[in-house]
Amino acid sequence: MTRHWSSRSPCRWPSRSRGTRGGGTSLPRKRGHPQRGSAETEARDAGNAIIEFVFVALVIMVPLVYLLVAVATVQRAQVAVANAARDAGRAYVTAQTGAEAETRVDAASRLALANAGLDPAAPRFVPAGASCDAHPITPRLLPGEVFTVCVTRRVDLPAIPSIVQGRGITVTGRYTVHVDDYADVGTAS
């Protein structure tokens, strides 16, 4: 006995040529649930991307940009005080007298801080290897003399009132100076 397949057989695969695009079957649609890609779904979602972008920009991007600005402000001050300490130390060592050295130190540190847009700060001299909080010393222009120059500044964070941030962030620049062993200085003081 031979079996013949009829068009009404329950085992037959759905036809690919009847009423569907792309070769799938056409299933009945439930009421209230639009199919993916339909005009009804696209009309309902139009504008959600703008709202989501604004929400993400406000919640994530604004604090991130502020964080970058705050870090850049502190880093700018750190580089400025490091340069001021280095310039002050070099100015002191290249002077011929103690009085000339003090004048040159003040000018060099003031200029280095002004280049970064910061108010001037007086440099401190401390023993070599000591912290900048140590008791200050009066350096001498003697061959082989070693001391450290410290410049300390307080940095205010942008857009935060001073009542909230307190004393701000303190940045310190250090530079250890070694007077040349064969330096020919005028009057040591």
Section 131-148 average pLDDT: 94
Number of domains observed in the structure of the chain: 1
Task: Using pLDDT thresholds of 50, 70 and 90, give the confidence band for residue 7.
Answer: low
Task: Using pLDDT thresholds of 50, 70 and 90, give the confidence band for residue 17.
Answer: low
Q: Does residue 3 fall inside a structural domain?
A: no
Q: What is the pLDDT of residue 82?
A: 97
pLDDT score of 81 more than 50: yes
Q: Does residue 65 fall inside a structural domain?
A: yes
Q: Does residue 7 fall inside a structural domain?
A: no
pLDDT score of 124 more than 90: yes
pLDDT score of 179 more than 70: yes
- Strand residues in 34-179 grouped as ranges (E): 124-127, 146-155, 169-178
Q: Does residue 17 fall inside a structural domain?
A: no
DSSP lists the bridge partners of residue 172 as: 152
Tell me the pTM: 0.69
Q: Does residue 115 fall inside a structural domain?
A: yes
More confident residue, 27 or 147: 147
Q: Does residue 161 fall inside a structural domain?
A: yes
| ∠ CA 143-148-95, rounded to 5° | 45
The answer to whether 145 and 127 have CB atoms below 8 angstroms apart is no
More confident residue, 98 or 43: 98
Distance from C-alpha of 12 to C-alpha of 10, rounded to nearest angstrom: 6
Q: What is the pLDDT of residue 1?
A: 55
The three-state secondary structure class of 75 is helix
Distance from C-alpha of 183 to C-alpha of 94, rounded to nearest angstrom: 9
pLDDT score of 28 more than 60: no
Q: Does residue 9 fall inside a structural domain?
A: no
pLDDT score of 157 more than 70: yes
Q: Does residue 169 fall inside a structural domain?
A: yes
Residue range(s) defining the domain that contains residue 156: 49-178
